[in-house]
């Protein structure tokens, strides 16, 4: 498990969700290896590639609920690639999953830019 202050992370996620008009219900983070993430991607999404985060959305109208699978292997390699610390990249991916639950996509070049902007805005709230 990553060494994060769970209370601080919870307050932060609640604050970001509130920015989008949502409260937090039950969000489960499943930290795993690249191989487990690939297996989930294949089994449930039919995708045959590695990824850093997979979000399953069970939200209701105003309450965010979901399972967020995070590959710690990919978080580490992404951190090295962009010159960030593991914690910085992990925080980005934690909130990336939450942003998916709020309805933010990232499948097109335009929505990827929007997602990155929203991640950056959320990260400014991390104190």
Please, what sign has the CA dihedral across residues 49, 123, 115, 19? positive
Domains of the chain by start residue, with CATH: 6-121 (3.40.390.30)
Per-run averaged pLDDT (10 residues), the chain, 127 residues? 88 98 97 98 96 96 97 97 95 98 96 97 92
pTM: 0.95
* Structure-token pair, residue 18: 């509130």
**Nearest to residue 104, comparing CAs of 77, 52, 48, 64?**
64
């Amino acid at each position: 498990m990553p060494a994060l202050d769970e209370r601080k992370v919870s307050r932060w996620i609640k604050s970001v969700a509130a920015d989008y008009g949502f409260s937090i219900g039950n969000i489960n983070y499943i930290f795993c290896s690249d191989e487990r993430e690939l297996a989930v991607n294949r089994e449930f999404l039919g995708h045959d590639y590695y990824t850093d985060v997979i979000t399953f959305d069970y939200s209701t109208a105003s309450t965010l609920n979901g399972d967020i699978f995070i590959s710690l292997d990919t978080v580490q390699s992404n951190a090295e690639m962009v010159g960030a610390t593991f914690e910085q990249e992990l925080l980005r991916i934690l909130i990336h999953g939450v942003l998916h639950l709020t309805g933010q996509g990232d499948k097109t070049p335009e929505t990827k830019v929007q997602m990155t902007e929203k991640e950056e805005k959320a990260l400014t709230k991390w104190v």
